[in-house]
Amino acid sequence: MFRGVDEMIEKEQVLNEIIEYYLKSHDFNGLPIYQMKYYDYKILCELIDDGVIEVLSEKEVLNPHIKGFDFNIPVERQKENVSRRTKHSVLYPTRKALKNISADYSSPYTVLMQKGEKQFKIIYFNIEILERYANNPKFLIMDSGYRGNIYPKDEYCEDKTIEDEYIKDYGMAYIEGEHLERAIGVFVCDLAKLSPQKQMLWKGFELSNQEYCKIASGFVDNLIHGKWVTKVWIFHALIDEMIVINEQCKAMGIPKLFNKTFGTHFSEMPEGYRNIFLPTLKNYYDFVLVLEKLVVHNLSYKTFQKSAPYITSINRYDETGKEKGSLTMFEEWLCKNIRTKENLTEIIIKPLRNIRSLRQKPAHELTSNKYDVCLYQKQVDLMNDTYAAIRAIRLFFANHPLAKDVKVPEYLISGKDIVNY
């Protein structure tokens, strides 16, 4: 038996109410059942059977007001969740229901949401898009290795050309292939909040090989599963090693080895001390310069010139009266004060000299900038070698009787879960 015309209109009213709420909500939210104007259990069941609405509840998801994924909740359970208006259930139109709605294609990521895309779908982009922000003093990039944020500096928030250009979270991603090659991934819900102009800008950097991209596991674990990320970025670990070494020096009664130490919050780290975004020679050598200033140029001559219990000082000048370089003094000081079968020059001094040597090349030669994806791995290798050298200093210093009680973070002691991204 066919339903009457009035009943069909009522069914359309129910569906339209759900669609309209979804499209007009701030974050493409579902309609809470307790807010429905046209609640009718029988019609809702028919809409579920028709595949034009989907029901989420707090029984199945932590936050039913956001449709982050395709949950594939059984039909009968969805019907149970709409059986009473007092239930905390939320109704969403499906892609089928949204298929023919009119959309403004000048905002490509808003269109995806208008067509029912899951909010936490990750879109992958050429990492070159980050260069736009890294080289623009109007913006800040908060980089934590596996994830980051992009936002305008406070003094430029009113700049009309910025248009609230803000990426709440991006994740470090990798492109499958022979060499390490980075990309970034962004949730479509965050992209949809950009202005039409900026959405089209980002669209121009969208990768065509989306299926070959993989997001860093910490990004998903932290932002989607709410897990605490226990792995430590090697950039942060190096800073923490330097802090501990200076504390060891204090305990041993000598001046601190590093003139200045830094914190691991993005605002406390040296500018440019991070993964290079675009793998160019200029970016690589810019990073080498930062690393040289952080580790090598930062060494204090005073450390090597003071005697203390179990420590012998060395002279600042050589036999001809010429000042010794910091690495020359450090090598001599290590060999005089640390008794070990290990090759201290190979373990500690050689990696530090390598940094200085790399830094001198662009300083004394005319070099041409070029793109080379292998520079990603070169930076990883450089950071690994540098970290190993600094860690070795801390381990040797720990054998000094007066430094044994200096507190060392557990993760530095174990050496586990220190990673490059």
pLDDT of amino acid 5: 45
- State pTM to two decimals: 0.91
| pLDDT single digits (tens) 127-173 | 999 999 999 999 999 999 999 999 999 898 888 788 778 999 999 99
In whole numbers, what is the pLDDT of the chain averaged over residues?
Answer: 94
Q: Is the pLDDT of residue 4 over 60?
A: no
CB-CB neighbours of 26 under 10 Å: 6
d(CA 192, CA 101): 17
The yes-or-no verdict on residue 334 having pLDDT over 80 is yes
Confidence of residue 1 (pLDDT cuts 50, 70, 90): very low
pLDDT of residue 2: 43
- Does the pLDDT of residue 99 top 50, yes or no? yes
The pLDDT score that the predictor gives to residue 297 is 97
| pLDDT tier at 8, thresholds 50, 70, 90 | low
pLDDT of residue 44: 96
Question: Looking at residue 31, what is its pLDDT?
Answer: 97
- pLDDT recorded at residue 362: 77
Residue 360 pLDDT exceeds 70: yes
What digits encode the pLDDT tens for the residues 274-305? 999 999 999 999 999 999 999 999 999 999 99
Percent of the chain with pLDDT over 70: 97
Residue 207 has pLDDT above 70, yes or no: yes
Q: Output the 3-class SS for the chain.
A: CCCCHHHHHHHHHHHHHHHHHHHHCCCCCCEEHHHCCCCCHHHHHHHHHCCCEEEEECCCCCCCCCCCCCCCCCHHHHHHHCCCCCCCEEEEECHHHHCCCCCCCCCHHHHHHHCCCCCCCEEEEECCHHHHHHCCCCEEEEECCCEEEEEECHHHCCCCCCCCCCEEEEEEEEECCCCCCEEEEEEHHHHCCCCHHHHHHHHCCECCCHHHEEECHHHHHHHCCCCCCCCEEHHHHHHHHHHHHHHHHHHHCCCCCECCCCCCCCCCCCCCCCCCCCCEHHHHHHHHHHHHHHHHCCECHHHHHCCECCECCCCCECCCCCECCHHHHHHHHHHHHCCCCCCHHHHHHHHHHHHHHHHHHHHHCCCCCCECCCHHHHHHHHHHHHHHHHHHHHHHHCCCHHHCCCCCCHHHHHCCCEECC
Is the pLDDT score of 220 beyond 60?
A: yes
Say what the pLDDT of residue 364 is: 67
Q: Would you say residue 191 has pLDDT above 90?
A: yes
- The proportion of the chain whose per-residue pLDDT surpasses 90, expressed as a percent, equals 88
Calculate mean pLDDT across residues 387-403. 98
pLDDT at 314 over 90: yes
pLDDT of residue 9: 52
Please compute the mean of the pLDDT values over residues 255-275 and round it to a whole number.
97
